[in-house]
Structures are given as C-alpha cells and as structure tokens.
Amino acid sequence: MSAEQPRVVVVAGGARAGGMGRAIAESFLRLGDTLVLSDVGAPLASHPDYEVAPPDHLATAAQELSTLGTVTAVPCDVTDEEQVAALFGAAVAEHGRVDVVVNCAGLAIGLSPVTELSLADWQVNIDVMATGAFLVAREAARRMVPQGSGRIITIASQAGKTGQPLLAAYSAAKFAVVGLTQSMAGELGQHGVTVNAICPGTIDTPLLAVKGGVYETFSGAAGRTEEDYRKRLARQIPARRFGTPEDVAAAAVYLASEGASFVTGEALNVTGGQEMH
C-alpha cells in the first residue's frame, strides 16, 4: 500500500442511511481513499417483507458520498458467489486493485425463542452473515494474495463473543464470523494480508428499529415501551450510552491503517464495556 496512492476500499452492505457500513464508507472517503460501495438492493427472496435498504438507497448513498471522493456503486447480494465475484471484478476493472474490504451486510430476522425459530429464519441469518462473510472474504483474499497485501475487516458482534437469549441464529452466524476471521488470519498472514473482526455492541442504527428487530422484540419480551426499553438498555452498558456508527468506523480506520499492520486475527470489541472477552 503506497501512501501516495489512494487505497481502493470495498464496503459491502454500506447503503443504508444511518448504518455502520455507511459511516465506514464515509470515513475512508474522508481519508482520501477510493470507495466501491455495495448493498443488496432487492428484497430477500426468502423474506420478501423484511425491510432491506430500498433499491434506490445504493444510488442515493453513492451520490451523496461522491461529494467526498470517488465512489463506484455495485449492487451485490453477498450470498450469491457470482455477484460477489462480480463486485470484486468491477472494483479491479475500475480501480486496478483492492486494498481494504469491510463487509457490513447484516440483518435482524428471527429474533425469537429457539423453540419458535423457523428453519427459514435460522438459514437467512447463516446465509447472509456467515456465508456472506465467507464469500466476500474469500473473494477479497483471492484478489489480495497475488497483490501481497490487503486488509480484510469483518463485522461480527458482541453476540459473536457471548450468546444472548432470543438471538440464537444471529449469535451463531456472528460466532461463525469470528471463527472465519481467525482461520483466515492464520492462512493469509504469510501473504501480507491481515484479517480482523470488529465486534460492535449496541450501536444506534436503523437495524435496531426494523420490524422484528431488537427494539420491538426485546421491549415486547420485557413488556415495556420501546422508549423505556432503550433507556434501560443504555443503563446496562457500562459507558451508559449506545455506540454510534462513527465509533465503529474509527475502529475500521485503525485496523486498515499502516499502524495496524501487525494486528491480525483480532476480534475487537467496540461495546462501551458490554463485552470484554
């Protein structure tokens, strides 16, 4: 990675306004990097009613972000290996290389007791967050190994460190992300590629508020209003506040920086003290 040349940064799952991916994309652009932005852009086949970022969000996000630097928008379903290959193909065709990849694609489906968790809800968690993490990281590695350098950043969760009630499918998928990250770090170190996970805690993003998401599910389970639940949740966080997408973006910027070149296989908690392991 030359300091003179802008890095080429691929951010998957980065279109939703107010989301972590969007903040991460913005942070890299502000550093002068070139951005390749993707998002799914179409309803999930298995869950057509789930509120993914609407299709026009990617174009809108790319347009808004382009005031900060060069942005190439490529729709991509991270569960589809051909689309993932096409995403990286487009990045390389347009910009010649891929230096940093951050995959933020995630969802909030199937927040329910295990006894009521459907196979379809379980599967979409595994597909999007575990298999999606694998496909994106694999394709990134295929591009980075020949380059002899690169940074792969996966987004896990505090739920990828400690399982939580009503989050079985999500936790399982996020544990998978941490395992994938460690395995890949071990394999790719010799090629100059680092692989690290960020484990965000409770971050104030639209994902918490989607239908069937954390607010609705956990406030319902506790018999409280969403507002009351939010206040109680903040009190359970040692820092007494929710994280911001920018808190997570700063960690991604660090992990992608030259200064973090000896950091690999890490699963970095950004949780305000909610998770310490």
Partner 1 sequence: MTISASVPQPGTHRSSATFDLTDERVWVTGASRGLGRAMALGFAAAGARVALTARSADAVRQVADEIEELGGKPLVLVGSVSDGAAVDAAAATIAEAWGGLDALVNSAGVSPIFKRAEQVDEDEWRHVLDVNVTGSFLCAREAGKLMLAGGRGAVVNISSIHGQVGMERMAPYAASKGAVDALTRTLALEWAERGVRVNTLSPGYFETDMTEGLRGHDKWRAHLLGKIPLGRFGVPEELVSAALFLASDASGFMTGANLVVDGGWTAA
Structure tokens that stand for 271 in this block: 């949780």
| Residue 63: closest CA among 54, 73, 77 | 73
Could you give phi then psi for residue 184, rounded to 5 degrees?
-70, -35
Site map 163..182 versus partner 1, x via CB under 8 A? ------------------xx
Contact between 252 and 27 under an 8 Å Cβ cutoff? The reply is yes
Annotated active-site residue 254? The verdict is no
Q: Which of 30, 211, 231, 232 binds partner 1 (CB under 8 A)?
A: 30
By CB under 8 A, residue 31 contacts partner 1 = yes
Q: Which of 146, 165, 189, 220 binds partner 1 (CB under 8 A)?
A: 189
Contact between 249 and 26 under an 8 Å Cβ cutoff? The reply is yes
Give least dist CB 21 to partner 1, A.
17
- How many whole angstroms separate alpha carbon 116 and alpha carbon 111? 10
- How many whole angstroms separate alpha carbon 235 and alpha carbon 242? 9
Residue with tokens 């071990």: 186
Q: Which window, 25-33, 116-124, 128-136, 207-215, contacts partner 1 (CB under 8 A)?
A: 25-33
Give least dist CB 91 to partner 1, A.
17
Could you give phi then psi for residue 226, rounded to 5 degrees?
-60, -40
Q: Which of 1, 126, 145, 209 binds partner 1 (CB under 8 A)?
A: 1
Q: Which of 4, 116, 119, 223 binds partner 1 (CB under 8 A)?
A: 4
Site map 57..96 versus partner 1, x via CB under 8 A? -----------xx---------------------------
As annotated, the active-site residues are 170
